[in-house]
Amino acid sequence: MASSPAKAGAHQNFYADYVIQFSYAGADPLGSSDELELLLRKLWEIGLQAEVRPGEDSNLLVFVRASRKRSLKRAVYQSRIRDWLHGVRSSEPEDESSAEPQTESERLRIINDMITLPHDVGGAGITPKHGQWKNVVAVFPLHDEVKNKEYLADWSKKTFLSEEDLDQIRDKFGESVGFYFAFLQSYFRFLLFPAAFGFSCWLLFGSFSTIYAVVNCLWGVIFIEYWKRQEEDLSCRWQTKGVSAVRHKRREFKPEREVQDQITGETRGVFPATTRLQRQLLQVPFALFSAVALGAIIATCFAIEIFISEIYTGPLKTYLVFIPTILLSALIPTMSGVLVSVATRLNDYENYETQTAYDAALTQKIFVINFITSYLPIFLTAFVYIPFASLIVPYLDVFHLTVRPFVSKEDATTIPTFTINPDRLRKQVIYFTVTAQAVGFAMETIVPFLKQRFAREYKEYKKKQTGRTNTGLEGETHDVPKNSYEDHEDEKQFLARVRKEADRDEYNVTDDLREMCIQFGYLALFSPVWPLVPVSFLINNWVELRSDFFKIVVDCKRPSPIRADTIGPWLDTLGFLSWVGSITSAALVYMFNTSADGPSGEPSAIKGWALLLTIFFAEHLYLIVRYVVQAAMAKFEPHSVRHEKTERYMIRKRYLESTLGARSSDDEEEVTPKDESIELSDITRKTLEEDARDWSRHGTNPEERFWMRQKGWRESAKVGSSIIKSQAAGTETKKQQ
C-alpha cells in the first residue's frame, strides 16, 4: 500500500463512481474494440459518463461517473418505487426530481444497478464475465482511503464499535458487509460473559464441568435469539426489511417452460419444484461421499499419528510425528477443493430462480464439507479414540507388522503396552481454538498482503528488465505499449492507485461469516473440554474485526454494496450448531466428568444406555429451553397470503410500466447530447483550443480535467481501441524480434 505522504489529489477518487476493468488479452484487437465501443455506448445510453485509461497487463480501465443528475435521480426513483411496491418502504417515494441517494452505498448500489441490470428494468445489462461481456473482468467502486485509515485508527483504540461505526461501515460498503460487522460485534460483546464464566469454571472445576456445559448451552440459545432480534432492529434502521423480495432473477436460471399466469396474465418461466426436488436428492449421495472421502483422509492420518506418537518407538520419531500433519494439510484442502467444485456444479444443476436461493443452497452444501473438516478430528478423539482405543489398538497390528523391521529388539517388547494419552483431546481443542485461529488470521490477512506486495515488486522488476532490453537492443522506438497513452502528470498518482486496486481480489462476505460460524461451532460443541475457549475467542475476535476490515480495505477491491436484512443461511447454521452442541456437551460431560483432571481413558466406565439417556435428556431439555427463550423474545410477523401477493404484483406491474414508459419518452425528448454532434475527424486543433479555453474558464482542477479529456463515448472508444491496437502492435513486434 502506498503509505507515502501522497498529494491530496491522489486520495480523492476524481469523482469516479465505478471502474470497469476491461481485458483485451488474447482476444482479437478488432473484436475487443467493438465490445469496448458497445460498452461505452451502453453506458452513455443510461446516462453515465465514461473515460478510458490504460490499465496493467492488457487491461483497460473505464472510469464511470453518474454526472447527469437526471439519470441518477430517475434510477434512484425507480429503485424506490420498486422497494415501495415490494413492501421494503412503507411510504410512497417523493417524486423523481427530489430523489437523491441518501448514503454513499445507496448511490453506489444504484449506479451498479444501472450498469449491471438488464435493459428491461432500466440498466445497461453489462454482466461481468458473463454472456457477451466476457472481456469485462470486474465492475468495482474505489476505496475511500482517507476515511478507511481514519476508521482503522479509531477502532484500534476502542473495545466496542458504536452504532455509528456500524452505520459508517454500512454507508461505505453496503448492508451485507454491515450485517457481518454487526454480527461480529454482537458476538464479541456476548463472548464477555462466557469468557469470564469459563475462566472461573476453569479455576474452580477444571474441565468437563456440568455447570459450565449447561450455562454454555443456555448462552448459545440466548445469543442466537438475541441476534435474531438485533437483525430485525438493524434491518428497520437501515430500511432493508424484506429486501430479499426485490432481488432480481438469476441470469443463469433456465426455465423448463413458459407459463401464463391465469390471474395476472404475466408470462413467466417455470421450473417445476418436483424436478428441482429430484435434482436436490443428489445432495444425499454427495454428502455421504464427502463424509466418506474426507473422513477416510482424517481417520487415516489420525491413525498414523496415534501410531507414530504413541506406539512407535523407532528411529526418527521426532521427524515422523510431522508426517500426519503434512499429509492432512496437503490432502484436506485438495479434497475440499474438489468437493466444493462438485457442490457448485450440483448447485448450478438445481437451477435456482433467485440469487438468494442459489447462495443459500450453496452455503448449505459447502457447510457440510466445512463441518466434516473442522469438527471430525475432535469427534474422532472424543468419541472413538478415548472410549474405544484400548479395544481398537490391538487391531492396529497391521502397523506393528509394518514397523517391526524398524524397531530394535529391546524396544519391540514395549510395543504392546499401549496407554491412551488422556491429554490428547484437550490438546486438540486448544489447537483448533487457539493455534488454528492464529494461523487463520495469518492466512486471511497477512499472506494475501505479502503476496500482493511481492507480485507488485516482481512486476516492477519485470517492467524495468523489459524496458532495459528494449532500449538496449532496438533503441527507444519499440516500447510501443508504454508510449501509446501517456498518463497526464496530475493523474499519475491516481491512476497508479487505481491500477493497484484493480489488481486485488474480490471480497466475499460469505467467507468471513463462515469463519465465524465455524468458530461458534467449536464453542458450542467442544468448549466443556477446555473452558478457556471463549477467552481465546474473545481476544481473537477483537483482532478479527479489525483485521477483517483491514483485509477489505487493503487486500481487496472495494465490494459493491449489496442490500441484506439478515446474515442469511448462516443463522440456521448457528441454530443447528447450538443444537448439536447440546448433544456433544452432554456426552462429553457424561463420559469424562468422572475424574477431576480430564479424561481418564477408562472406557469400561461408560455405559451405553446411560450415555444415550443423557444425550436424549439433554437434547430435549435444549429444545424446551429454546422454545421458552424464543417465546420470550420473538416477535410474530403477519403472514402474507397468496391473494395479497397477486394484488401487489398488479400494482407493481402498472407502476413499473408507467415509470419505464415515461422514461423512454423522456429519452426521445432529451436534447441530443453534445458528443453526438462531434465527428471523430473534428477533433482538430480548433476543438483542442476550445478545450483549453474551457479549462481556463472552469479552473484547472485536475479532477475536472480528468473527465474532460474524452468528449463522449465515441472518443473514449477511439482512445481505448488505439491502446488495444498499439498493445497488439507491440506484441507483434516483440514476436517478430
Q: Minimum distance between the CB of residue 500 and Ca ion, rounded to whole angstroms?
A: 22
The span of 134-142, 172-180, 484-492, 513-521 binding Ca ion (CB under 5 A) equals 513-521
Convert residues 459-498 into a mask of x (bound to Ca ion by CB under 5 A) and - (unbound).
----------------------------------------
Q: Minimum distance between the CB of residue 336 and Ca ion, rounded to whole angstroms?
A: 18
Amino acid at 8: A
Amino acid at 423: D
DSSP 8-state class, residue 556: B
> Would you state the cell numbers that stand for residue 145, as one nine-digit string?
482511503
Residues 662-701 that bind Ca ion (CB under 5 A): none
Identify which of residues 292 and 443 has a Cβ nearer to Ca ion in the complex: 443
Q: Minimum distance between the CB of residue 445 and Ca ion, rounded to whole angstroms?
A: 8
Identify which of residues 347 and 510 has a Cβ nearer to Ca ion in the complex: 510
Give, for 537, the enclosing helix (H) or strand (E).
Answer: helix 533-550
Identify which of residues 36 and 513 has a Cβ nearer to Ca ion in the complex: 513
CB-closest chain residue to Ca ion: 512
Identify which of residues 64 and 567 has a Cβ nearer to Ca ion in the complex: 567
**Is residue 548 part of the contact set for Ca ion (CB under 5 A)?**
yes
The span of 89-97, 240-248, 328-336, 507-515 binding Ca ion (CB under 5 A) equals 507-515
**Is residue 555 part of the contact set for Ca ion (CB under 5 A)?**
no
The span of 30-38, 287-295, 496-504, 509-517 binding Ca ion (CB under 5 A) equals 509-517
Identify which of residues 127 and 536 has a Cβ nearer to Ca ion in the complex: 536
Identify which of residues 556 and 615 has a Cβ nearer to Ca ion in the complex: 556
The span of 313-321, 546-554, 707-715, 720-728 binding Ca ion (CB under 5 A) equals 546-554
Q: Minimum distance between the CB of residue 551 and Ca ion, rounded to whole angstroms?
A: 7
Alpha-helical runs (H) found in 600-677: 608-633, 642-669, 674-677
Q: Minimum distance between the CB of residue 420 and Ca ion, rounded to whole angstroms?
A: 36
Provide the phi-psi class of 14: left if phi over 0, else alpha when psi is between -120 and 50, else beta.
left
Using CA atoms, how far apart are residues 722 and 52, in angstroms rounded to an integer? 11
Q: Minimum distance between the CB of residue 358 and Ca ion, rounded to whole angstroms?
A: 23
The span of 219-227, 359-367, 541-549, 610-618 binding Ca ion (CB under 5 A) equals 541-549
The span of 228-236, 390-398, 545-553, 604-612 binding Ca ion (CB under 5 A) equals 545-553
> Look-up: residue for cell 436424549?
616
Which residues have C-beta within 8 Å of that of residue 297, sequence separation ≥ 6?
327, 328, 331, 332, 335
Which residues have C-beta within 8 Å of that of residue 396, sequence separation ≥ 6?
303, 306, 307, 311
Within 392-467, strands assigned E span: none
Residues 624-653 that bind Ca ion (CB under 5 A): none
Identify which of residues 512 and 555 has a Cβ nearer to Ca ion in the complex: 512
Within 103-214, strands assigned E span: 136-140
Using CA atoms, how far apart are residues 23 and 60, in angstroms rounded to an integer? 6
Cβ contact 52:33 at 8 Å: no
Q: Minimum distance between the CB of residue 440 and Ca ion, rounded to whole angstroms?
A: 8
Q: Minimum distance between the CB of residue 243 and Ca ion, rounded to whole angstroms?
A: 24
> Applying CB under 5 A, which of residues 145, 350, 501, 515 lies at the interface with Ca ion?
515
Alpha-helical runs (H) found in 442-479: 447-474
Using CA atoms, how far apart are residues 557 and 562, in angstroms rounded to an integer? 14
Using CA atoms, how far apart are residues 232 and 186, in angstroms rounded to an integer? 14
Cβ contact 663:74 at 8 Å: yes
Identify which of residues 543 and 606 has a Cβ nearer to Ca ion in the complex: 543
Helix (H, G, I), strand (E, B) or coil at 425: helix
Q: Minimum distance between the CB of residue 444 and Ca ion, rounded to whole angstroms?
A: 5
Return the closest-CA partner of residue 548 out of 15, 10, 161: 161
Identify which of residues 113 and 512 has a Cβ nearer to Ca ion in the complex: 512
Helix (H, G, I), strand (E, B) or coil at 345: helix
Identify which of residues 87 and 440 has a Cβ nearer to Ca ion in the complex: 440
**Is residue 231 part of the contact set for Ca ion (CB under 5 A)?**
no
The DSSP result for 28-87, as a single string, is: -HHHHHHHHHHHHHHHHHTT-EEEEEE-SSSEEEEEEE---HHHHHHHHHHHHHHHHHTT
Total number of residues that touch Ca ion (CB under 5 A): 3
Q: Minimum distance between the CB of residue 180 and Ca ion, rounded to whole angstroms?
A: 9
Q: Minimum distance between the CB of residue 169 and Ca ion, rounded to whole angstroms?
A: 14
Q: Minimum distance between the CB of residue 362 and Ca ion, rounded to whole angstroms?
A: 19
Identify which of residues 197 and 449 has a Cβ nearer to Ca ion in the complex: 449
> Would you state the cell numbers that stand for residue 410, as one nine-digit string?
529391546
> Would you state the cell numbers that stand for residue 58, as one nine-digit string?
492488457
The span of 313-321, 384-392, 400-408, 540-548 binding Ca ion (CB under 5 A) equals 540-548
CA distances from 277 to 129, 357, 448 (A): 30, 14, 40
Identify which of residues 290 and 540 has a Cβ nearer to Ca ion in the complex: 540
Cβ contact 676:711 at 8 Å: no
The span of 18-26, 462-470, 544-552, 624-632 binding Ca ion (CB under 5 A) equals 544-552
Q: Minimum distance between the CB of residue 184 and Ca ion, rounded to whole angstroms?
A: 8
Give, for 260, the enclosing helix (H) or strand (E).
Answer: strand 257-260
> Would you state the cell numbers that stand for residue 395, as one nine-digit string?
487391531
Q: Minimum distance between the CB of residue 94 and Ca ion, rounded to whole angstroms?
A: 40
> Would you state the cell numbers that stand for residue 527, as one nine-digit string?
468448549
**Is residue 512 part of the contact set for Ca ion (CB under 5 A)?**
yes
Identify which of residues 103 and 186 has a Cβ nearer to Ca ion in the complex: 186
Q: How many CB atoms lie within 10 A of CB 547?
A: 17
The span of 113-121, 196-204, 219-227, 543-551 binding Ca ion (CB under 5 A) equals 543-551
Identify which of residues 548 and 565 has a Cβ nearer to Ca ion in the complex: 548
Point out which residues bind Ca ion (CB under 5 A). Answer: 512, 515, 548
